Amino acid sequence: MVDTATTTTPGETPHANGPDQLIVVSGLSGSGKTVALRTLEDLGYYCVDNLPAALMPAFVQALSHSTVGHRKLAVGVDVRNRAENLNRLPQILAELARSDIGYRLVFLDTRDEVLIKRYSETRRRHPLSVDGLGLAEAIAEERRLLKPMLALADRVVDTSDLNVHQLRRLVITEMGLTPGAMTLLFESFAYRRGVPTDADFVFDARCLPNPHWDSKLRPLSGKDAPVREWLESKPEVKQFGDDLLAFLDRWLPRFEADGRSYVTICLGCTGGRHRSVYLAERLAEQLRQRYGQVLTYHREME
């Protein structure tokens, strides 16, 4: 992971009518920009991907002065923009600064060999492959086009060795935390695909009745009402959830008092779609009233 020197932007102090936070997310295709933007959206940011860079000042002003008054904005800007827009980016950001709008530009980078492997595994097309370029040539051309973004970045993150969960954690801890508040992430998973490596707590729900064996419920998930109602009708499911809540009620304040800013609670079942998803959502809902930010992530449903 590489840090650039943090720049002091003239717009560091938000204008009274501007957003409290504006994050511009850029980087190479396949580096994790979509994951970063989705995570910021979970954290309450109003996110727009692939916004033409020239429209950024108007976009920020429009949302800042809307009746809704969005205070946290995130914009994805990458090689899908026209080259002239990317070259004009220094002027565009300077325009934001003159309007007293503070911003932070985050650039996600990845080694070429890792990008090639990711494209091979997902079988997706590179945005520049439509110009008849091979993958390696397309990546090289993308790097050339994004040089203005890289040169202006306040933070450069190398995602070559980060998986999806590690990138989400990095975004949450660096860009999404409310100062002084502890953030909780409830993550559901399937044991057959392994336990998440970044878990602070792991709870096994495989002992509970399984909706999978009901043919009507099998295609659904723990977020769907029929599955929730089925599980809530089982006394052992309620007792299991109550015991977990009591445990967390007792011990999470100790973590918070110790200065922890982020705790991941993982719940697993066989398929990662019914019992674990239901419990993650139920616990998150119950604890949202007590902690600054409570998020859910369902690994097998992403």
Could you give the residue ranges of the DSSP H alpha helices within 43-123? 56-64, 83-87, 89-98, 112-122
Beta strands 201-204 and 46-49, pairing class: unpaired
Annotated binding site for GTP: 78-81
Annotated binding site: 27-34, 78-81
Annotated binding site for ATP: 27-34
**Backbone φ/ψ region at 154: left (φ over 0), alpha (ψ -120 to 50), beta:** alpha
| 281: its two tokens | 């959502």
Confirm if 108 and 26 have CB atoms less than 8 A apart: yes
Confirm if 89 and 152 have CB atoms less than 8 A apart: yes
3-state secondary structure of 272: coil
| Cα–Cα dist 62/56, whole Å | 10
Cα four-point dihedral sign 215, 221, 224, 229: positive
Confirm if 217 and 231 have CB atoms less than 8 A apart: no
